Amino acid sequence: MKESIYGLTFDQLTEWLLERGHKKFRASQVWDWLYKKRVKEFSQMNNVNKDCIKLLEENFAIQTLTQEIKQESSDGTIKFLFKLQDGNVIETVLMRFHYGQSVCVTTQVGCNIGCSFCASGLLKKSRDLTSGEIVEQIMNVQHALDEKANEERVSHIVIMGIGEPFDNYDNMMDFLRIVNSQKGLCIGARHITVSTSGLAKQIYDFANEDLQVNLAISLHAPNDELRTKIMKINKAYPLGKLMPAIDYYLEKTNRRITFEYIMLRDVNDHVEEAKQLANLLADKRHLSYVNLIPYNPVDDHSYQRSEKESILAFYDTLKKNGINCVIRHENGTDIDAACGQLRSKQVKKLENAGK
Ligand code: SAH
Ligand code: SF4
């Protein structure tokens, strides 16, 4: 199996070509064909000499993902299911907003964090995605937009698909550098958000990176007892470890952080929990906001979505206590757009077919 050409940063490709006797400017040409002209075959790079094309073809693949399913929702959301070279399937979602086109990418095949409410956590991680496989998700969506010929481009990225990005840290960082590069897709760091279930160690590492990428923390509960109940990662990284990592991040970057909070009926959606949450975040309320997320029911979980009134009461309590807060608008609910849902259905179908 050849590795994806999209997995190399510009510097890595330059060095790779130099080591094989090719001129430095070839890397710029190749990147221009990949990311600006967006060709799908090396042979189309017609200002690159034959030897260089041959070398690239022998060592790299330009398409390692194949599209299995593409579902378009009435609100414009498009959901893609891709097959990887090893047969695993992953999903990617394009969401359309007034401010641009946002893509939700997957970073792992499955997820080992195993949160009790999540479809991705139902299926153990079988492997990390390579940086190339993560970049290719964006390229596939961009190619789909190119086909529509409306001059639309992917302008925003959320790393909120299947997997825990901080459990695949190095590949995720390469991915960020590649899509952010001026020579490539040039997607602004401020337009990219990475979401983590709270791996404290990597939050420190991320704070020390020289990047303006936004950080979101999946908090979902304001105290250890409840958080451990719904997210077992809280045993390894309880609030006593997580919050100091967040404080370090805020101090180091001075960037606003998002706290995600899924509203689970009668589990974490009482006014009492809203008060606790306001207390927990009181000292960082100027550099944070809370995103209240309506729960997307998953077949094998018993949780239910909170009532509208509970969500509003929760919201009001946070607001009254000076916490910035929004209720997330949902996209593509008619097509299983909650990350992990299409894939888990597909994997189950395949498993049943094999029985
Ligand atoms: N592993 C990372 C990123 C992927 S999950 C993380 O957990 O942050 C992205 C977001 O979707 C997280 O906030 C996660 O808690 C949320 N999520 C997972 N399952 C969901 C569901 N069924 N309904 C609504 N949100 C869900
Ligand atoms: Fe993994 Fe995130 Fe799902 Fe938790 S919510 S199981 S960390 S993908």
Q: How much is the pLDDT for 355?
A: 43
What pLDDT is attached to residue 343?
60
What is the reported pLDDT for 210? 84
CA–centroid distance, residue 149 to ligand 2 (Å) = 35
Q: Active-site residues: which are they?
A: 91, 339
CA 309 to ligand 2 center in whole angstroms:
27
**Closest approach atom of ligand 2 to CA 121:** 6
Q: List residues near ligand 2 (CB under 6 A).
A: 111, 113-115, 118, 120-121, 163-164, 197, 218
- State which ligand 1 atom lies nearest to the alpha carbon of 341: 22
pLDDT value for 344: 60
Atom 5, ligand 1: which residue's CA is nearest? 160
pLDDT < 50: residue spans in the chain: 354-355
Taking only the tens place, the pLDDT of each residue in 99-115 is 999 999 999 999 999 89
Alpha carbon of 139 to ligand 1 centroid (Å) = 23
pTM of the entire structure? Answer: 0.94
Smallest CA separation from ligand 1 atom 7, residue? 197
Give the per-residue pLDDT at 76: 86
Task: Render the burial of 158-194: b for 16+ CB within 10 Å, e for the rest.
Answer: bbbbbbbbbbbbebbbbbbbbbbbeebbebeeebbbb
Tell whether ligand 1 has an atom less than 6 A from the beta carbon of residue 137. no
